Chains A and B, each alone.
Chain A
Amino acid sequence: MAGSSRGGLIYWLTESRNGLGLIFMLPAAVFLLCLLTYPLGLGVWLGFTDARIGREGIFVGLENYIWLFNDSVFRLSVFNTIFYTVVASVLKFGLGLWLALILNEKLPLKNFFRAIVLLPWVVPTVLSALAFWWIFDSQFSIISWVLMKWGLISAPINFLGEPWNARWSVIAANVWRGIPFVAISLLAGLQTIPQSLNEAAALDGATAWQRFRRVTLPLLTPIIAVVMTFSVLFTFTDFQLIYVLTRGGPVNATHLMATLSFQRAIPGGQLGEGAAIAVAMIPFLLAAILFSFFGLQRRRWQQGGSD
């Protein structure tokens, strides 16, 4: 009896459609569980404990979150993160679209320029952050130097030493790094728009602005939605640039949720609190994803029909 039932199981696993499907899914399931779900689950769990480095935590419920809610540094970091994300994303979108439109024109050495545009994206973040660190140096900044030579300012600008200067400086560095992604993706989108549509619009009497506003932009919205969702997610979770440039300073003016989380958890040793900060980012990220999913989902004109 036992033998036959085991034979039945092996038979079911190897011969039936569902059994085989289960076997084929196993590697992917193991991969997802071990490498994605476990770390994420552990992070969420840690957020509900008072774990420190070297000490197993005990469950403390929402205590971490209540404590964070009353922590002015955390609230500042939420403000910083939202400000950083909104301003940098808007700038990246505007400048990236502009660059994509230029690169879509017939230019000499077009491929060369396209390759150049990708460079900031290719260079490791830490390297570009170090370069910006020099550019924003309080004594040797090239920007201060040039402006002083022109006689526009009399003393070097303290880029990373003043809260608002520092915020704008890190935003500038992030925009510089993020533009290539937006520009190249939108350029790919632009190239899917048939040339004849622009020609037809020109014959219909559209000016260059009308062609952009009424033909190019509407046809580009699906790509814009995807690109900007990713751009917002990358910006919201940015860590490297801030950590190299300012470490969250001055007086926490540039601390983002990601850097604060690391600061509290690893150098500060408060694993539970750091994890709670990281978990607190999830609602914001979900909101961004849902916004793009529902707000910018496929338009009616994209649905139905073939080709």
Chain B
Amino acid sequence: MAEVTIRDLRKSFGPVEVLHGVSIDIAEGEFVVLVGPSGCGKSTLLRMLAGLEHVTSGEIRIGDRVVNDLPPKERDIAMVFQNYALYPHLTVAENMAFSLTLKGAPKAEITSRVKPAAEILGLSNLLERYPRQLSGGQRQRVAMGRAIVRDPQVFLFDEPLSNLDAKLRVSMRAEIKNLHQRLKTTTVYVTHDQIEAMTMADKIVVMHDGRVEQIGAPLELYDQPANLFVAGFIGSPAMNMLTGRLADGGFVTGDGIALPVARPPAAAPGGPVVYGLRPESMHLGGEVPLRVEVVEPTGSETHVLGHIGATEIVGVFRERVRAAPGEEIRVRVDAEATHLFDAGSGARLSA
């Protein structure tokens, strides 16, 4: 176990800079998720941590060592790849023991380390199989087993669940989190799926275009997004964005519909403002007119697609909405759960 410190890390491929000075502190035993849309540099960052990509400038520390120029094998880290990267010519047991075999560890030690790892992951009766004979979820577990056997300072996961089907993904999510709580190894996990990030992380790092947009605990990012990008990225369905201006201690959309604001910012800008409205912070019965277009009952809640003024809106209601398409319903907006952003810079306005 070790802490990981990343300081002003930059990476260029030829003339193209893909990471523009990233700084992240990861505490010992923390589960950190790097999340962002594809091409945001999160995988590159992970590969630089692993030593598979050179560092252009900046500093990476694992524990108290600067590892910038150390080859992968000297960094004491284990990585789970997106495609699992299991050795197809080795059995499950041999795959898991590969690093020990390379070191020439005695047979007894190999068994004593592979066995418990296999038990944790429920692989005990698959040890003699070859990767080809395993299902996707089982391969995923073997890849994790290979990492566990190493007992490394840091676990790295590169989109490990993206090749699994939706149901398996949910159960593996819980399994990985469980595993982390058990082993308490510092973990860096890369994903493009914000739900994975929200459910698993102690700390989320939201990345966009090679920059860190915000670092924080999952609910911190949900409750206090630092800017429009984070606001739109975290949460599903995504936050609704209405453009307008501040007036009379409230917010008025471009087409003149008034919406409540909890605490208007002290220095209210005269310019345009973006009003962030979470789909789940709307309730039936209120002042705001919502023109319904599509109603999607999911059972526990009802999704409503419609318009407030000219802006397309998604609402998630705990109540059952019985409205015909084209009908206008009235909704109440939970003022405490709304967000204000500067339309120009995208930065958060209200506290």
Contact = CB atoms under 8 A, between A and B. Distances in A.
B72 A202 contact: yes
Contacts of A196: 81-83, 85
A210 B103 CA distance: 11
B77 A305 contact: no
Interface residues of A, number: 25
Contact of B83 (A194, A205, A299): A194
B134 interface: yes
A18 to B, nearest CB: 37
B87 A205 contact: no
A53 B50 CA distance: 74
Contact of B90 (A206, A301, A304): A301
User: Is the contact region of chain A dominated by helix, strand, or loop, or is it mixed?
Assistant: helix
Interface string A197-226: 101111111110010001100110000000
B133 A197 contact: no
Interface residues of B, number: 28
B79 A305 contact: no
B87 to A, nearest CB: 6
Interface in B19-65: 50-52
Given A196-B83, A299-B89, A203 B134 contact: no
A4 interface: no
Contacts of A210: 102
Interface in A239-266: none
B141 to A, nearest CB: 15
Nearest to A199: B52
Nearest to B136: A307
Nearest to A304: B133
A70 interface: no
B156 to A, nearest CB: 9
Nearest to B103: A205
Contacts of A199: 50, 52, 72, 79, 81, 85
Q: Which of A199, A210, A219, A302 has the most CB of B within 10 A?
A: A199
Top 10 A-B residue pairs of the complex, sorted by shortest distance between their CB atoms: A305-B132, A204-B99, A200-B85, A196-B85, A205-B73, A301-B130, A218-B89, A301-B89, A202-B72, A203-B72
Interface of A: 194, 196-197, 199-207, 210, 214-215, 218-219, 299-306
